[in-house]
């Protein structure tokens, strides 16, 4: 639904960076809630696999590479995990371009279906004892498929929810996406941990490791059902109408070269922020269980039990962080997140290196808190950098390039740094360096809280507020 607020909107809407002042979008709340649920369950499903795989790294190493020593097995599994992210940029480019061309909803259905299928098939793979090295190669292939499809999943979900939410609550609603991601990770981690506690590590190696992957099928069908019930975003529908009427200058989705030429500044900002946030995020989620068991000597079950409660608390706090960013702005929250990592990463790892359970929990919390701050604010920060016509493509390309280089590879890179240097504190130094980049990027951002998305009309979930905005616009026009 849109409410006209002026006659000059058509010409101004043709600018790729100026908001369309020709109408106020009134967001239907039931439709908004369906959009959030659909995106939430999709992200939960994607990160369920990340959690399962991350917490089974030590278990699956002997299954797919039994003739190697334990260190080589861990490096192989971490490398396989990293390979997933190396293909994310290709998926982000392809699905982002497609989403800007045909719409968000259909593309998000496709990406989710591919993630679910690949996760399930991992659980059906034969072990090394059955087909030799082909088992490891097939595992890599399925992780690559996951990476390609996931390249369009999260950025598409961010685009989808941001374009479905009212301007003054965008931080709150988009923060549910990363909350879903981390809850999905937690679900996978808890499931693996329960199986390990009940049946033992050897039973897991003998074949029970397959169960968490096979469970992806029913979970995925539920997620697909929710996503099928979601329509297209109001902003993209408005864009299609402008394209049909000829009032939209940029009528075609741009490819990678065109996006870089037009939006290179915004893409660099995304690259820097994703590098800062995802380095610490993946260090906390996907590497800490391996770090505690492989470096600090915790058994795999104990390392999982230490971190799971913190994961749940961190995920549940993200919508509140998003709400805070709606009130005080995105930049203050991001200043706090990046500054926290720079100042407190070294003390956090000193606590982790004590090996004492109580101090380890405190150290983990010190690593996890800035993750919640970053993720609670970034999902609403990124969409405001690009216009509706190229939001999915610009964000999908830049986000996934950064995740490939600095996110999914973080566990492997940190492990390699520690082994190369022989010093556990190199993990902290790496996180600090990345968040120094984050501090620099935050300084270049313009505040976007409570403002219309570029290339779109202002959006509200209140008809009364829409009429007030129309009146304010009319009064401003009369005063000119």
pLDDT beyond 80 at 472 = no
pLDDT tens readout for residues 284-297:
876 777 677 666 66
pLDDT tens readout for residues 89-121:
999 999 999 999 988 988 998 999 999 999 999
pLDDT of residue 247: 65
Instruction: Name the more confident of 409 and 220.
Output: 220
- Cβ atoms of 266 and 385 closer than 8 Å: yes
Domain 2-8+15-479: give its CATH superfamily.
MFS general substrate transporter like domains (1.20.1250.20)
pLDDT of residue 220: 85
pLDDT beyond 60 at 9 = no
pLDDT of residue 295: 63
pLDDT of residue 201: 84
pLDDT of residue 480: 52
pTM (two decimals): 0.85
Q: How confident is the model at residue 70 (pLDDT cuts 50, 70, 90)?
A: confident
pLDDT beyond 70 at 372 = yes
Burial (CB count within 10 angstroms: exposed 0-12, middle 13-18, buried 19+), residue 106: exposed
pLDDT beyond 60 at 337 = yes
Q: How confident is the model at residue 268 (pLDDT cuts 50, 70, 90)?
A: very high
pLDDT beyond 60 at 3 = no
Mean pLDDT confidence for 322-331: 97
* Domain extents in the chain: 2-8+15-479
pLDDT tens readout for residues 419-470:
787 777 888 898 999 999 999 999 999 999 999 999 788 888 888 877 777 7
pLDDT of residue 288: 77
pLDDT beyond 90 at 26 = no
Residues above pLDDT 70, as percent of the chain: 89
pLDDT of residue 249: 59
Q: How confident is the model at residue 361 (pLDDT cuts 50, 70, 90)?
A: confident
**CA atoms of 442 and 429, how far apart (whole Å):** 20
Q: How confident is the model at residue 20 (pLDDT cuts 50, 70, 90)?
A: very low
pLDDT beyond 80 at 302 = no
pLDDT beyond 60 at 188 = yes
- Cβ atoms of 170 and 326 closer than 8 Å: yes
pLDDT tens readout for residues 120-176:
999 999 988 889 889 999 999 999 999 899 899 989 999 999 999 999 999 999 999
Q: Please tell me the least confidently modeled range out of 312-326, 362-376, 397-411.
A: 397-411
Q: Please tell me the least confidently modeled range out of 68-77, 164-173, 190-199, 268-277.
A: 68-77
Mean pLDDT confidence for 247-273: 85
Angle at 343 between CA 342 and CA 348, to 5 degrees: 100
Q: Please tell me the least confidently modeled range out of 108-112, 216-220, 248-252, 377-381.
A: 248-252
pLDDT beyond 80 at 42 = yes
Mean pLDDT (the chain, rounded): 85
């Amino acid at each position: 639904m849109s409410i006209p607020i002026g006659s000059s909107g058509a010409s101004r809407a043709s600018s790729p960076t100026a908001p369309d002042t020709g109408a106020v979008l009134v967001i239907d709340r039931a439709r908004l809630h369906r959009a959030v649920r659909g995106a939430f369950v999709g992200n939960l499903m994607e990160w369920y696999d990340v959690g399962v795989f991350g917490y089974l790294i030590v278990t699956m190493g002997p299954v797919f590479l039994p003739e190697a020593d334990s260190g080589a097995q861990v490096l192989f599994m971490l490398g396989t995990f990293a390979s997933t992210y190396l293909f994310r940029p290709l998926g982000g480019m392809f699905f982002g371009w497609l989403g800007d061309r045909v719409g968000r909803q259909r593309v998000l259905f496709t990406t989710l279906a591919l993630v679910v299928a690949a996760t399930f098939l991992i659980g059906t793979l034969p072990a090394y004892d059955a087909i030799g090295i082909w088992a490891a190669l097939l595992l890599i292939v399925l992780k690559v498929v996951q990476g390609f499809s996931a390249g369009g999943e999260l950025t598409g979900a961010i685009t989808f929810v941001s374009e479905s939410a009212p301007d003054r609550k965008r931080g709150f609603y988009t923060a549910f996406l990363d909350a879903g991601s981390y809850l999905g990770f937690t679900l996978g981690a808890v499931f693996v941990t329960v199986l390990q506690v009940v049946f033992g590590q050897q039973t897991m190696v003998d074949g029970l490791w397959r169960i968490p992957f096979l469970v992806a099928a029913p979970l995925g069908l539920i997620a697909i059902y929710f996503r099928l019930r979601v329509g297209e975003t109001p902003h993209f529908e408005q864009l299609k109408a402008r394209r049909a009427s000829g009032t939209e200058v940029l009528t075609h989705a741009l490819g990678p070269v065109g996006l870089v030429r037009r939006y290179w500044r915004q893409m660099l900002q995304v690259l820097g922020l994703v590098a800062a946030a995802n380095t610490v995020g993946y260090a906390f989620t996907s590497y800490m269980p391996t770090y505690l068991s492989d470096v600090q000597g915790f058994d795999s079950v104990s390392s999982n039990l230490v971190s799971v409660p913190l994961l749940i608390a961190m995920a549940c706090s993200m919508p509140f962080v998003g709400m805070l960013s709606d009130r005080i702005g995105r930049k203050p929250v991001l200043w706090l997140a990046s500054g926290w990592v720079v100042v407190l990463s070294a003390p956090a790892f000193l606590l982790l290196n004590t090996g004492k359970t109580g101090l380890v929990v405190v150290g983990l919390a010190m690593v996890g808190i800035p993750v919640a701050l970053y993720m609670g604010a970034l999902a609403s920060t990124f969409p405001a950098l690009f216009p509706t016509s190229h939001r999915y493509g610009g964000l999908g390309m830049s986000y996934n390039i950064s995740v490939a280089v600095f996110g999914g590879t973080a566990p492997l890179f940190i492990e390699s740094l520690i082994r190369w240097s022989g010093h556990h504190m190199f993990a902290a130094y790496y996180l600090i360096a990345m968040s120094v980049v984050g501090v620099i990027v935050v300084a270049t951002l313009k505040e976007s809280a409570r403002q219309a998305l570029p290339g779109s009309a202002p959006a509200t979930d209140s008809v009364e507020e829409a009429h007030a905005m129309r009146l304010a616009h009319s009064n401003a026009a009369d005063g000119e």
